[in-house]
Amino acid sequence: MLPPRLSRRSRRKAGEAAVSARQERARVKELITKGEIYFFDLFKDERKSILRMKLIDLLQSVPGIGKSRAEVILDRTGISHSRRIGGVGHRQLELLRQEFLLIKNSPKSGRLLVVSGPSGVGKSTITNKLRNDDRFWISVSATTREIRSGEQNGVDYHFVSNEHFDRMITKNEFLEWASFAGAKYGTPKKAVNDALMDGKNVVLEIELNGARQVRKNSKNAILVFIKPPSWEELTARLIKRGTESEQSTQARLDRAKEELLAASEFDHVVINHQVDQSVSELVSLALR
Ligand code: 5GP
């Protein structure tokens, strides 16, 4: 059945009401940003325009929250990203209050920084240099691949069995995960969210498919692609590293060709001529 046709007058009235609701919402966000309205007071407001506002939009306007933390807060509290103010229950409000207490302790939100690029390009060497900088927190991934000599469980990776990894997938514990050269790799979500709430800039060193998942889910993430100075250099580095079997080296090189073609999907490209230079480029991209 077709919806009833509105008269011209009713259409005009509806249009005017929509404009005024939009203005009201914009005004509320502005007042929250300026600190002239307290976020939690809005939940007592009974205006229809406010009740229909999306919680995430309102959260983003709160000083010190911004886009990254708004997404994190909803993830941590288990509140849907499409929830509207009018649909927030008492228990959810209490959870939000607890998150606000954490924010008070670290008023500035960090950014999510994704570092990607072909195997052997030097991503770990670059990100490892940020370990001593307390503005950054380097995520420790879970993986099913064999531990290499010199690697430490819990430091380089959480080395887990296939069954364990699959359980983590089922329990929705990954921010992203992907298969790479015969093993699975994933970023544990909780630790990343905790670090972002703590005001850290969080660095994920991950391959292309994982980076694409982050792009889709975290609009505010900064994606950086690390490129080798040349193909010959990449091949030489990967072989010289000597960590892989012949088969794994070949799988990684095949995959590298694919990854290099995707560089334009990233926000920034850094050519790794020299590690310290690449590190400072990365730091300035994250902190600007
Ligand atoms: P490797 O076995 O050399 O340590 O890592 C292989 C590839 O997996 C690298 O490109 C590395 O960046 C990527 N990787 C490491 N951890 C993760 C992760 O948590 N998620 C995804 N998608 N890739 C990862």
Copy the structure tokens of residue 190.
Answer: 């909780």
Q: Which CATH architecture has domain 12-104?
A: Orthogonal Bundle (1.10)
180 lines ligand 1 (CB under 6 A): yes
The full 3-state SS of 87-114, as one line of letters, equals HCCHHHHHHHHHHHHHHHHCCCCCCEEE
Q: What pLDDT sits at residue 175?
A: 96
187 lines ligand 1 (CB under 6 A): yes
Domain 112-287, CATH number (from 3.40.50.2300, 3.30.565.10, 3.40.30.10, 3.40.50.300): 3.40.50.300
Q: What pLDDT sits at residue 16?
A: 85
Sign of CA dihedral 22, 28, 30, 32: negative
Q: Determine the atom of ligand 1 nearest the C-alpha atom of 259.
A: 10
Low-confidence ranges of the chain (pLDDT < 70): 1-3
Identify the residue whose C-alpha is closest to ligand 1 atom 10: 207
225 lines ligand 1 (CB under 6 A): no
Q: What pLDDT sits at residue 82?
A: 95
Copy the structure tokens of residue 209.
Answer: 């498919």
176 lines ligand 1 (CB under 6 A): yes
Identify the residue whose C-alpha is closest to ligand 1 atom 2: 145
* Residue 269 φ/ψ, nearest 5 degrees: -120, 130
Q: What pLDDT sits at residue 216?
A: 93
Domain spans of the chain, in order of start: 12-104, 112-287
Q: How many angstroms separate the alpha carbon of residue 178 from the centre of ligand 1?
A: 8
Q: Measure CA 31 to chain center.
A: 27
Q: What pLDDT sits at residue 1?
A: 61
Q: What pLDDT sits at residue 2?
A: 65
120 lines ligand 1 (CB under 6 A): no
Q: What are all long-range contacts of 187-190, with beta carbons under 8 Å and residues at least 24 apart?
A: 187/139, 187/141, 188/139, 188/140, 188/141, 188/142, 188/158, 189/75
pLDDT in tens, 30-63: 999 998 989 999 999 888 889 999 999 999 999 8
pLDDT in tens, 204-253: 999 999 999 999 988 889 999 999 999 999 999 988 888 888 888 898 99
